[in-house]
């Protein structure tokens, strides 16, 4: 079995999890997490580097010991160190870490005192009310655990779009490399740019379907072929992702792409429209009686039912068909419309690169302004700048701006919204910054009324301009905070503040529904990278996908404005 970067990253993550439960040295744990990230993000396969005898320690975060482990994993598919750790702790105990609210300390307590080793054990212990009696737990925690485990065990795992992309694009390229295949597209929820996907739907154009499905099931990452035939096949990849493949002839490409892109609700609505006009639509085309009137392109298919082309991101039967009929489809924002980015981090807080490197990377992507918004707080603890450091960074930015051409840095900070809604930086510092971003990074489980009041109060601060990642969710890891988002959006509008759409693949926060709500209220959305390294500016593409799902047009997005206009808008919030 060839070893892929994702396999190596998974081993390092598991080591880090197990070390955390063993309460090992935090630096050691972080070293494994960083290594996992670096390996996962590498464009080149470690396997190839090892085979070429390249020096792995030249990669960031990879020292001598980790390089040896990578070599071992590539050679054997296993890691002796992980095997030893697994002998000390039951295999399922790392699962406990992925339950929100259960850190390593609590996971260890459950394991040691209640002998909980699996999620099933945990569920039983919670249902029997045995957890509340443990030191450091209580009835509320027990309820949280119960709900989280229930949600985790009943829901089918969905993949973040950016993770699914890596597997889907590699597989699509593999299929497309066959001379038998004329074209391959990734359809389904992935093409609609949903934040998570349940499975991947691939469409291939070819005349010899069976040869293509055979090539598909022979792919080296296929763990299990679930079904296979002349025109379709399904398989589960080793990473757990399921892939459905359809093979159609050229003349049906557009109809099949439309069918497979969905959503199901959109498809049904389009079919109904076709029926009203005496047409029948299926995966092979649009037909009047036996005659095919469209099928090769999606445009022709829509035209056959009297509609203009509807972008995949809108195909949810949420009013797009009515808008299309009325000629009122939005002209969705594009990546090239962005002129700046209002949220990023440098090495001064928890980023990986310096001011100049971040500025240069943003400029190369065609941005003309970039707000530096390192974490800042009164105390300066936990990777954040203290007030003095913020002021020094402002001077540094002034000096750098005098040198830089083609891009301007704005002086900003990402400031914690404390439990009571106040901002964790003195007003005298806040008012000197070009842009203040408020963010919730703690107390995620406050009840709705309190949580809403907290955010509303933060928005009342005269220095705040932007509410970062408004729901604070982490896809697949942390639920959104419980707030009245409609009220927050209205309040932001009254104050002249803006909401962020954070483009990190794990956040994509504002979500699509709330983007639409913001648009309806006239509240501009800032599509930001929240970059922690210069590579992360690529995240803007994910954010744009989400903005498009939220029907946002260029004018609905704050950072499509020129720097002059932006400064005017920011001045109004104060
Ligand atoms: P997912 O995988 O849960 O993220 O969501 P989708 O939208 O990719 O759903 P999936 O993979 O079950 O199906 C792919 C597409 O196939 C779906 O978007 C529309 C189409 N489709 C599936 N089932 C039906 C159906 O019963 N009727 C119609 N009209 N289309 C369907
Ligand atoms: Ca799908
Ligand atoms: Ca599917």
Band (103; pLDDT cuts 50, 70, 90)? confident
Residues 247 and 175 in one domain: yes
CATH of the domain at 360: 3.20.20.140
pLDDT of 284 strictly over 80 = yes
Residues 374 and 422 in one domain: yes
- Looking at residue 536, the DSSP 8-state letter turns out to be G
CATH of the domain at 226: 3.30.460.10
Residues 34 and 181 in one domain: no
Nearest residue to 506 via CA among 466, 546, 533, 535: 546
pLDDT of 148 strictly over 90 = no
Give the domain range for residue 106: 5-154
Distance in Å, CA 282 to ligand 1 centroid: 13
Distance in Å, CA 178 to ligand 1 centroid: 27
Residues 30 and 112 in one domain: yes
Q: What is the structure's pLDDT at 108?
A: 84
Task: Encode pLDDT of 32-73 as tens digits.
Answer: 999 998 898 777 889 999 999 999 998 888 999 999 999 999
* CA pair distance 567, 424, nearest whole angstrom: 24
Task: Identify which ligand lies nearest to the alpha carbon of 168.
Answer: 2
Distance in Å, CA 244 to ligand 3 centroid: 5
Domain boundary among 110, 139, 154: 154
Domain boundary among 154, 179, 197: 154
CA-based angle 565:528:436, to the nearest 5?
65
Q: Which of 158, 168, 188 to mutate to test the pocket of ligand 1 (most atoms within 8 A of CB)?
A: 188
Residues 360 and 284 in one domain: no
Residues 299 and 427 in one domain: no
Domain count across the chain: 3
Residues 146 and 255 in one domain: no
Q: In this structure, what token pair is assigned to residue 470? A: 């408004």
> Phi and psi at residue 466, in whole multiples of 5°?
-140, 135
What's the distance, CA 486 to chain centroid? 23
Q: Which of 24-28, 187-191, 456-460 has the lowest mean pLDDT?
A: 24-28
Q: Report the DSSP pairing between strands 200-205 and 183-186.
A: antiparallel
Task: Encode pLDDT of 463-500 as tens digits.
Answer: 999 999 999 999 988 899 999 999 999 999 999 999 99
Q: What is the structure's pLDDT at 6?
A: 85
Band (155; pLDDT cuts 50, 70, 90)? low
Within a domain: 330:
no
* CA pair distance 332, 195, nearest whole angstrom: 17
Q: What is the structure's pLDDT at 363?
A: 98
Q: How many CB atoms lie within 10 A of CB 574?
A: 11
Residues 388 and 537 in one domain: yes
Nearest residue to 557 via CA among 329, 362, 338: 338
CATH of the domain at 68: 1.10.150.110
Output the ligand 1 site: residues, CB below 6 A: 188-189, 194, 197-199, 201, 259-260, 262-264, 267-268
| Residue 157 burial by Cβ neighbours in a 10 Å radius (0-12, 13-18, 19+) | exposed
- DSSP-assigned states of every residue in 338-390: --EE--B--TTTT-SS-HHHHHHHHHHTT-SEEEE--EE-SS-TTT-B-HHHH
Sign of the alpha-carbon torsion through 480, 483, 484, 489: negative
Contact 426, 433 (CB under 8 A): no
* CA pair distance 226, 240, nearest whole angstrom: 12
Q: Report the DSSP pairing between strands 340-341 and 369-372.
A: parallel
Residues 448 and 533 in one domain: yes
Q: How many CB atoms lie within 10 A of CB 97?
A: 17
Q: How many CA atoms lie within 13 A of 194 on its CB side?
A: 18
Within a domain: 403:
yes
* CA pair distance 33, 12, nearest whole angstrom: 7
Within a domain: 60:
yes
Nearest residue to 169 via CA among 183, 181, 182, 186: 186
Ligand 1 atom having least distance to the Cα of 271: 29
Distance in Å, CA 2 to ligand 2 centroid: 26
Distance in Å, CA 296 to ligand 3 centroid: 22
Q: In this structure, what token pair is assigned to residue 461? A: 């601060």
Ligand 1: which residue has its CA nearest to atom 2? 198
Ligand 1: which residue has its CA nearest to atom 1? 198
Ligand 1: which residue has its CA nearest to atom 15? 260
Within a domain: 111:
yes
Q: What is the structure's pLDDT at 120?
A: 84
Within a domain: 556:
yes
Residues 221 and 250 in one domain: yes
Residues 467 and 339 in one domain: yes
> Phi and psi at residue 325, in whole multiples of 5°?
-60, -35
Distance in Å, CA 301 to ligand 2 centroid: 21
Residues 131 and 202 in one domain: no
Domain boundary among 325, 356, 378: 325
Ligand 1: which residue has its CA nearest to atom 3? 198
């Amino acid at each position: 079995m060839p070893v892929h970067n994702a396999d190596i990253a998974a081993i390092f993550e598991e080591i880090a999890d197990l070390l955390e439960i063993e309460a090992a040295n935090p630096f050691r744990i972080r070293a494994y997490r960083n290594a996992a990230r670096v390996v996962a993000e590498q464009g080149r396969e470690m396997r190839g580097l090892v085979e070429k005898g390249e020096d792995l320690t030249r990669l960031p975060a990879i020292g001598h010991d980790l390089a040896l482990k990578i070599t071992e994993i590539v050679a054997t598919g296993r890691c002796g160190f992980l095997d030893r750790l697994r002998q000390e702790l039951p295999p399922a105990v790392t699962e406990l870490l992925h339950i929100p609210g259960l850190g390593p300390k609590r996971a260890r307590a459950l394991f040691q005192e209640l002998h909980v080793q699996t999620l099933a054990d945990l569920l039983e212990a919670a249902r029997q009310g045995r957890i509340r009696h443990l030191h450091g737990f209580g009835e509320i925690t027990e309820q949280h655990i119960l709900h989280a485990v229930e949600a985790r065990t009943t829901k089918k795992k969905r993949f973040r779009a950016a993770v699914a992309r890596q597997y889907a694009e590699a597989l699509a390229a593999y299929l497309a490399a066959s001379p038998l295949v004329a074209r391959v597209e990734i359809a389904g929820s992935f093409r609609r740019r949903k934040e998570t996907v349940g499975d991947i739907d691939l469409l291939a154009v070819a005349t010899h379907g069976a040869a293509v499905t055979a090539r598909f099931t022979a792919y080296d990452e296929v763990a299990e072929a679930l079904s296979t035939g002349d025109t379709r096949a399904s398989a589960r990849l080793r990473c757990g992702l399921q892939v459905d493949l359809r093979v159609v002839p050229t003349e049906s490409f557009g109809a099949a792409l439309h069918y497979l892109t969905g959503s199901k609700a959109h498809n049904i609505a389009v079919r109904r429209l076709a029926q009203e006009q005496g047409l029948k639509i299926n995966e092979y085309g649009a037909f009047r009686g036996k005659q095919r009137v469209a099928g090769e392109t999606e445009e022709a298919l829509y035209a056959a039912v009297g509609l203009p082309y509807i972008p995949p991101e809108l195909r949810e039967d949420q009013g797009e068909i009515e808008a299309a009929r009325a000629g009122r489809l939005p002209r969705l924002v594009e990546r090239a419309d962005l002129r700046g980015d209002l949220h990023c981090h440098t090495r001064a807080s928890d980023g990986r690169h310096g001011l100049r490197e971040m500025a240069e990377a943003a400029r190369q992507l065609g941005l003309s302004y970039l707000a530096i918004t390192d974490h800042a707080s009164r105390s300066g603890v936990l990777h954040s700048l203290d007030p003095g450091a913020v002021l020094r960074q402002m001077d540094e930015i002034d000096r750098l701006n005098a040198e830089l051409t083609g891009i301007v840095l704005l002086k900003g900070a990402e400031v914690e919204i404390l439990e009571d809604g106040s901002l964790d930086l003195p007003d005298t510092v806040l008012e000197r910054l070009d842009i203040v971003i408020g963010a919730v990074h703690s107390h995620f489980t406050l009840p709705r009324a309190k949580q809403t009041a907290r955010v509303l109060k933060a928005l009342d601060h005269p220095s705040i301009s932007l509410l970062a990642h408004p729901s604070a969710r982490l896809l697949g890891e942390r639920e959104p905070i419980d707030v009245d988002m409609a009220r927050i959006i209205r309040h932001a509008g009254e104050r002249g503040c803006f909401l962020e759409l954070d483009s990190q693949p794990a956040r994509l926060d504002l979500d699509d529904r709330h983007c639409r709500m913001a648009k309806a209220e006239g509240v501009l959305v800032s599509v930001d990278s929240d970059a922690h390294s210069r590579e992360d500016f690529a995240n803007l593409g994910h954010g744009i996908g989400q903005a498009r799902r939220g029907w946002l047009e260029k004018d609905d997005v704050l950072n499509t404005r020129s720097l002059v206009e932006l400064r005017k808008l920011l001045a109004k919030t104060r």
